[in-house]
Structure 1
Amino acid sequence: MNEEQDAFAGGRELQPESGDRPGDDPLLWSVASAMRKLGPRATMAQLAREVGTEPSVLYRRFPTVAALRESLAAAFYDRLFSHVQRARELPVDQRLDYFLRNVGLHLATSRGVLPDEFGQMANPVQRERIYALTEELLAEARQAGVVPDEVDLSDIAAIIWALRGIIAMTDAIEIDAWERHLDLVLVGLKSEGLTFTRPPMGAEALDEIIHRRRNER
């Protein structure tokens, strides 16, 4: 995990960054850290005590626990998008790596804060923004020969699903274990000897899987 990927994992605290997004909210990120410590089922009173404020302060900002979780999910997603946009500033052979490491980092840091993956809790506009950027970064990587032309958007989705599973299995024990798996995946993804045993699942199947996951929430 490098210094550019500034959030908390393995005990490092997530701190607000100036300019990450309009109206970036130090109170919200303090609540995120408190929820990471206390668990996503913590009450408003418990969270307020942990961040050193009164429950009434939180209730004025977030009338319900559901509203608080929605705000946290939106904040995590906006932060992810802000970070991965920086991939465009990197050499083309580093962009997809940077994107996937930031996705993994945000999945790991939202674990224990949100009751569901923050990507499932994000609104449709946020999801479409990140999907479009993923397609763009993959297209650039293929065009530059960083990954084979056969690598499909559904392959990138499957990598992210695998990271979710590893994070869920290792959470609170070895929170950074997903990074080692991603190291292996990225080497294989760029290997000249990469071959596939079957064709990609395709856009229609990918959409169906994503929509089914949303409906299961």
Structure 2
Amino acid sequence: MNPNEPKVLRRDAAQNRQRLLDAAERVFTESGMDASVDEIARVAGVGMGTLYRRFPTKEALISALVRKLMDDLVAIAKTARDRTDGRGLEQLLYGTGEVIASQRGCLPRLWSDEETKALKAEYWRIMTELLIAAKAAGRIRADLTDTDIEVQFWAMRGVIETTRGVTDTAWKRHLALCIAGMRPGAEELVEAPLAERLARRVSSR
């Protein structure tokens, strides 16, 4: 066996791990990331010993959730890349919104987590490809930049967090309005796009 390959868990251990991840998503969404691991174990229906065998620290549990979230986002990006009509960017935006709206508890760590840098880089590479394709198809204005899309994600996160517990769909209307403003023929943009170095500073917060 290759020592670098991830260890395959027994069926019961894998089920316990998934129960803990599902419970953590629920607890963090309802109570924020300050929620205790005791509550997560209770919701998962397992003992604290089981939790600590799977996740030695709360940080390890959070990192696993963020990785799962980024895996889902990369999968959505790859699916959107298969489109040939220039609509892949829009599909990616809505798909990303669906994922982060359903897993709000980890949003503060989504773009700043150091353990998932490679996944985030892959996601942004695909997003840039989709932006280029959307421009070529005449779906998106030519002066839109990748940092404009990144700012849109920050705005969408703000809507999702602000409307938590009130409505789960406000972000969709907000996104539809933003996409309408991205169409060719809209008014000329006066402000310059956010510089990439500044976007990185914001994302790291």
Is TM (by shorter chain) over 0.5? yes
The answer (yes or no) to whether the contact 1:34–1:51 under 8 Å persists in 2 is no
Residue 100 of structure 1: CA displacement?
A: 0.7
Aligned to 1:135: 128
How many residue pairs align between the two structures? 189
Residue 47 of structure 1: CA displacement?
A: 0.9
The Cα offsets for residues 115-170 of structure 1, whole Å up to 9 and x where unpaired, read as 72412225221221111111111011111211121111122112112112212221
Aligned to 1:206: 196
Give the secondary structure class of the aligned counterpart of 1:103: helix
Which of 49, 54, 57 is the equivalent residue of 2:47?
54
CA distance in 1, matches of 2:67, 2:140: 31
Aligned to 1:126: 119
CA spacing shift, 1:213–1:154, aligned 2, 3 Å: closer
What RMSD over aligned residues (CA atoms) do the two structures have, in Å? 2.3
The one-letter amino acid paired with 2:78 is Q
Give the secondary structure class of the aligned counterpart of 2:87: helix
CA distance in 2, matches of 1:194, 1:72: 41
The answer (yes or no) to whether the contact 1:110–1:117 under 8 Å persists in 2 is no
CA spacing shift, 1:208–1:182, aligned 2, 3 Å: same
CA spacing shift, 1:106–1:207, aligned 2, 3 Å: farther
The answer (yes or no) to whether the contact 1:110–1:118 under 8 Å persists in 2 is no
So what's the TM-score if we normalise by structure 2?
0.81
Structure 2: 5+ residue stretches without partners: 1-13
Which of 55, 68, 75 is the equivalent residue of 1:82?
75
Please list, as runs of the form range in 1=range in 2, the aligned pairs for 1:1-217 lying within 5 A after superposition. Answer: 26-27=18-19, 28-111=21-104, 113-114=105-106, 116-121=108-113, 123-201=116-194, 205-214=195-204, 216=205
Aligned to 1:11: none
CA distance in 1, matches of 2:88, 2:202: 29
The answer (yes or no) to whether the contact 1:104–1:163 under 8 Å persists in 2 is yes
The one-letter amino acid paired with 2:110 is F
So what's the TM-score if we normalise by structure 1?
0.77
CA distance in 2, matches of 1:207, 1:106: 26
Highest Rg: 1 or 2? 2
